[in-house]
A and B are shown apart, each in its own frame.
Chain A
Amino acid sequence: MSLLNVSDLRLSFGGLLAIDGLTFSVEEAEIVSVIGPNGAGKTSAFNCVTGFYRPTSGRITLRGRDLPGLRPSAIAGLGIARTFQNLRLFGELSVLDNVRAGTHLWLRQNVFDALLHTPRYRRSERECTEQAHHWLDFVGLRGDRYGAARNLPYGEQRRTEIARALARRPDLLLLDEPAAGLNHGEKAEMLDLIRRIQGLGVAIVLIEHDMGLVMEVSERVVVLNFGKEIADGRPEDVRRDPAVIEAYLGSDAHA
C-alpha cells in the first residue's frame, strides 16, 4: 500500500474547476514533485490533502485511511506536516516557540501539570525545547533562536518553517515552494536539506518552480496544467514529454 493515494481528485470553486481529476501516489520515503504553471492547481491540491479545502470529489487516503472531512489538525495528527507557499510563521513568537509548535502533538502534559509545575510538566517542557533545538540544528539555522521569528532573514525563516514541520515528526512532508526567493547558495543548501529529510525516512511532496532542483531531487514528477494532470513519471521522461513542453513553453515555441 502506498503512503499517500490521491485518486481522481476534483475541486471546484463555484464554476471554476481548480483541480480536474488528479491521481498520484507517494511511497514511503519517496520524493515526488508536483510542477506546473502558476494557477495549475498545485497548492489547491496541497490544501485538499491537508484538509484546508474539501475536495468536490475523489479520494485521498493516507495508509488507506480517508482524509477528506477531517480537520487539518486531525490530518496533521495522522502524520502529515506541511509548509506554506507564503511563509506562515508565528512572527511575534520566538524562533524556538515556532518549532515547539511542531511538538504540540507529542507533548504529554495537562492543565494541572502546568498550574502545579509537576515533574511531568518540567520534563515535557525540557523535552520540547531540546526537540526544537535539535530540529533547528538539523535545518542548519544560524540566526538568533531566542528572538522573534519575523526578525530572521528570509532564507532563515524558510528553514524555521521546515524545522517546525519536522518537529511534528511526520511520515509525509508537503513542501510548497521551499526554494522560492532563495539565492543560488541557499538553493544548494535546500537541496541538501531535502535529501537529508528523506534520509530520515520521510516521504516528501514538493511543489517547486526551480526545475534544476526538481530534476535533481525528485524520484517522480507529476505535472499539472489548468487543473488537469498531464504527466506523471521519472524526471528524465517528464522533461521530454511533448505535453509538458507545450504547457511550459506554448505550442508555437521552438524550444
Chain B
Amino acid sequence: MTSAVKVRKVGTDKPPTRASKFLQNRWAGLAGLLIALLAPFVNASPYALSVMTSAAVFVMLAAGLNIVVGYCGLLDLGYVAFFAVGAYTSGVLATRFDLPLPVTVPFVIVVTVIAGIVIGAPTLRLRSDYLAIVTLGFGEIIRITANNLDVTGGPSGIYGIPHLTESPVVFYYLTVVVVSLAVVGAARLGRSRLGRAWRFVREDEDAAEAMGVNTYRVKLAAYIAGAVWGGLAGVLFAAHLSAISPTSFTFLQSALVLMAVVLGGMGSIPGVVVGAVVISLLPEILRDLADYRFFLFGVLLIVVMLLRPQGLWPARSREVS
C-alpha cells in the first residue's frame, strides 16, 4: 500500500485553470440570476415582462428536459406532454374547484409523477430510436386528448385561471425565484449518486448494469424528474397566461425545448439556461424583421451548430476538485 500512496503524487492534483473554475463555480449562476433580477429595471413594459416571464418558464422546461436528454441520454421528442399535464391539472383544479394555484402544486406533482411512470414504464425498455418515436406519439396523444375532453375545455381550452398576483413585475420575480430553485435543484440532482448513475447509463448501459446500477429504475427516475420539472413549469405557464389551450402544447414546443438543450450543451446546466434564453428571446429580438425572423432564426441556429456542435456552453469532462 505504501508504494501505491506514493504513486498518487505524480501528476494527479493538477490545479484547475482559472477559466474552468469560473465556468464551474457558482459565480456564473449568480451572475445569471443578477441579470434576471435587474432586467425589469432596464425595461419593465408589460410586453417585455411577459417575454421575460415566458423565457424564465422556458428555462425551467429546458432544465427538466436536460435531466432526461442531457444527463441520461434518453431522446424525448414529446416532452411538452408533461408541460401540458402540469398546466391542465393546475388549470382544471383552479377553475372547476376554485383552488388557489399554489394549492394545486402538490396535485400537479402527483399527477406528473404518475404521467412519468405511465409514459416511461413501458417505453423505457426500448432503445434510443424507438424511444424517440414513442415519446413523440405520447406527446401528441396528450395534446389530442386535451383537445377532445370536456373537462379540459376541448379546443378552446381553459380560461380565467386566476393570476397569482395582479402585478406582472411581482409575478416575474416569483417566476425567477421558482425557476432558479428548479435549475439549482436539477444541478444538484446531477451531482448526486443518482445524477452520476444517469451519466453512467448515457455513457454505457451495460457497464452501468455491471456496476450494480439498475438502469431501468434509473431511467425511470430521470423520466419522473423531467416530468415533475415540466409539470411545475406548466403551472407557471398557466398562471402567467391565465388561459391554456391545446395549441400551446404542439410538437413544435417539444422540438424547441430540445433545441434549447442541444444548442446550449447537453448535460450542462449553464448551457441549457443560455440555450433556453437564446431560443425564447431571439425570435422576439428579431421581431423587427417581420416575416424573415424565423428564417434568420433558423440560419443562426445552423451557424451555431456548425461552429459549436458541442453547444454554446458544453458540459466539461474535467472535474474540479
Contact A141 B7 (CB under 8 A): yes
**A73→B211 CA distance, assembly (Å):** 7
Inter-chain CA distance A111–B198, complex, in Å, is: 13
Given the complex of chains A and B, what is the CA–CA distance between A105 and B196 in angstroms?
Answer: 12
CB < 8 Å neighbour of B319 from A76, A133, A146: A146
A117's contact among B10, B188, B207, by CB below 8 Å, is which? Answer: B188
Q: Within 8 Å of chain A (Cβ to Cβ): is B102?
A: no
> Which of B11, B188, B216 contacts A142 (CB under 8 A)?
B11
Instruction: Please state if A140 and B4 are interface contacts (CB–CB under 8 Å).
Output: yes
Contact B196 A84 (CB under 8 A): no
Residues 76-101 of A, flagged 1 when their CB comes within 8 A of B and 0 if not, give: 11000110100011111110110011
- In contact, A52 and B206 (Cβ under 8 angstroms): yes
When C-beta atoms are compared, the residue in chain B nearest to A139 turns out to be: B4
- Give the residue name and chain of the A residue nearest to B190 (CB): A114
Determine the distance from Cα of A26 to Cα of B11 in the docked complex, in whole angstroms: 39
Q: Work out how many contacts link A and B, with CB atoms closer than 8 A.
A: 136
A90 close to B210 (CB less than 8 A) = no
Residue among A89, A90, A136, A165 with max Cβ neighbours from chain B (10 Å): A90
Bound-complex Cα distance A50 to B5 (A): 32
Answer whether residue B91 sits at the interface, using C-beta atoms and an 8 A cutoff: no
Q: Does A144 contact B (CB under 8 A)?
A: yes
Residues on the A chain within 8 Å of B88, using CB: none
Known A-B contacts A97-B319, A147-B318; A109 and B7 likewise in contact (beta carbons under 8 Å): no
Q: A146 near B320 (CB under 8 angstroms)?
A: yes
Contact B214 A144 (CB under 8 A): no
B132: CB under 8 A from chain A? no
Of A72, A111, A114, the residue contacting B210 (CB under 8 A) is A72
- The answer to whether B318 and A137 have CB atoms under 8 Å apart is no
Chain B 188-211 against A: per-residue CB contact (8 Å), 1 yes, 0 no? 110111111101100110111111
B212, A76: Cβ atoms under 8 Å? yes
* Known contacts A94-B317, A142-B10, A147-B318; A71/B209 CB under 8 A: yes
Say how far B299's CB is from chain A's closest CB, in angstroms: 30
> B317–A147 contact, CB under 8 A?
yes
The reply to whether A146 and B14 contact each other, CB–CB distance below 8 Å, is yes
B160 within 8 A of A: no
Q: How far is the CB of A139 from chain B (nearest CB, A)?
A: 8
Interface size on A, residues (CB 8 A): 53
Expressed in whole angstroms, the minimum distance between the Cβ of B307 and any Cβ of chain A is 21
Q: Which label, helix, strand, loop or mixed, suits the secondary structure of the B interface?
A: helix
Given A90-B199, A117-B188, A146-B320, does the pair A101, B211 have CB atoms closer than 8 Å?
Answer: yes
A6 in the interface (beta carbon within 8 A): no
**B196 → chain A, closest Cβ, in Å?**
6
Of A72, A121, A138, A144, the residue contacting B4 (CB under 8 A) is A138
Query: Are A73 and B207 in contact, CB atoms less than 8 angstroms apart?
Result: no
| A146 → B minimal CB distance (Å) | 5
B217 to chain A, nearest CB (A): 9
B43 sits at the interface (CB 8 A): no
* B-chain residues with CB within 8 Å of residue A88 when the two chains form the complex: 204, 206-207, 210
User: B6-27 vs A: 1/0 string, CB under 8 Å?
Assistant: 0110111010100000000000
Question: Contacting A114 at CB < 8 Å: which of B1, B192, B214?
Answer: B192
> Which among B11, B211, B221 is the interface contact of A168 at CB below 8 angstroms?
B211
A96 CA / B13 CA spacing, docked (Å): 12
Residues of B participating in the A interface, judged by any CB pair closer than 8 Å: 1, 3-5, 7-8, 10-12, 14, 16, 185, 188-189, 191-197, 199-200, 203-204, 206-216, 221, 317-321
30 sampled A-B residue pairs with Cβ under 8 A: A50-B210, A72-B206, A73-B210, A73-B212, A76-B209, A81-B210, A81-B211, A82-B210, A88-B207, A90-B204, A91-B203, A93-B317, A94-B317, A94-B319, A101-B207, A101-B208, A101-B213, A102-B211, A104-B196, A104-B213, A137-B4, A140-B3, A142-B7, A143-B12, A146-B16, A146-B318, A146-B319, A147-B319, A164-B211, A168-B212
Question: Known pairs A96-B319, A165-B211. 18 more at Cβ < 8 A?
Answer: A81-B211, A82-B210, A84-B206, A94-B318, A104-B213, A105-B211, A111-B221, A113-B192, A128-B193, A137-B4, A142-B11, A143-B11, A146-B16, A146-B320, A147-B317, A147-B318, A148-B318, A164-B211
Those 4 A-B pairs whose CB atoms lie nearest each other, nearest first? A114-B192, A148-B317, A90-B203, A76-B212
